[in-house]
Every structure is written in structure tokens, then in C-alpha cells.
């Protein structure tokens, strides 16, 4: 999953994709993660994680934070 993320979704992806396709890929990855949490009987954690992902994606794409590069010193 990490290789998939770095290849297509990360800000410095090897093969960057268009924004609508990137959003679709992010939704697929996070739905799989939420499903795995539910399957592991961690329903409350899955709901918290899903809500935080939803809030983050709404803020990221509505405010325009997708173009900000964060660098470590």
C-alpha cells in the first residue's frame, strides 16, 4: 500500500495523477483502511479515523493545501 501511495498519490509522486483521480485513489485507500479496522473489531477507531480523513480531505481540497510543500529542516 505504501508503494502505491508513493507512486501515485504522494505530493512528490513518481507518476502524479490528476486531482479527481487522486481523490478517487485516496478514497479507495482510506476505505480499505477503515474496512480493515472494522474487520479487526475496532469500530470506534474506524469511525474516528474515517471522520478525521473526511475532515482532512475537505480542508485540503477546499482551502488549497494540496500545493503546500512541507520540508523538514
On average, the pLDDT of the chain sits at: 84
Q: Residue ranges per domain, the chain?
A: 18-65
pLDDT at 61: 82
Q: How far apart are CA 24 and CA 58, in angstroms?
A: 13
Angle CA(54)–CA(42)–CA(57) in degrees, nearest 5?
A: 10
Mean pLDDT value across residues 19-35:
90
pLDDT at 67: 55
CB 20 within 8 A of CB 4: no
pLDDT at 15: 84
Angle CA(59)–CA(30)–CA(11) in degrees, nearest 5?
A: 60
Amino acid at each position: 500500500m505504501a508503494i502505491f501511495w508513493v507512486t501515485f498519490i504522494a505530493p512528490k509522486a513518481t507518476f502524479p495523477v490528476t486531482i479527481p483521480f487522486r481523490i478517487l485513489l485516496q478514497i479507495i485507500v482510506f476505505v480499505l483502511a477503515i474496512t480493515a479496522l472494522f474487520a479487526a473489531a475496532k469500530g470506534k477507531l474506524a469511525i474516528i479515523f474515517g471522520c478525521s480523513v473526511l475532515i482532512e480531505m475537505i480542508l485540503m481540497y477546499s482551502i488549497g493545501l494540496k500545493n503546500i510543500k512541507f520540508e523538514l529542516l
